[in-house]
Amino acid sequence: MGTVTVAMIIALGLAAKWVIGALKGGGGGGGGYELASRDAQIQRLREEMDGLHGEVRRLAEEQSFMVRLLAEGGARPAGGALSAPERPDGPNPETT
């Protein structure tokens, strides 16, 4: 084994020991406060995950829309360029 591999194993072991100690309470003696703090952190993480879920869903919808547009790209009019949409208050100034 190389030195990098040994260092990685040691680092992972220390990280695992730290996580297990934190989950067991770490002997802090603050009991109720630590539990309330942990609950608040979990609630914040849930809220952030909900926000991320919404963003991922939006990105997936945008991606599927772009894939559909690219798949239909061969069905453009013979002129090749798309015309600008008309404004809701009247005709397009570029075409008049």
At 19-62, the pLDDT tens digits run: 777 777 654 445 567 788 888 899 999 999 999 999 999 999 99
pLDDT at 92: 56
Q: What percent of the chain has pLDDT over 90?
A: 31
**Residue-range domain boundaries for the chain:** 29-71
On whether the pTM is more than 0.95, the answer is no
In this structure, are residues 78 and 72 in contact, taking their beta carbons and an 8 Å threshold? no
Phi/psi of residue 87, nearest 5 degrees = -75, 150
Alpha-carbon distance of 22 to 16, in angstroms, equals 10
- Chain-centre distance for alpha carbon 62: 14
- Contact partners, residue 76, CB within 8 Å, separation at least 6: 82
Mean pLDDT of the chain: 74
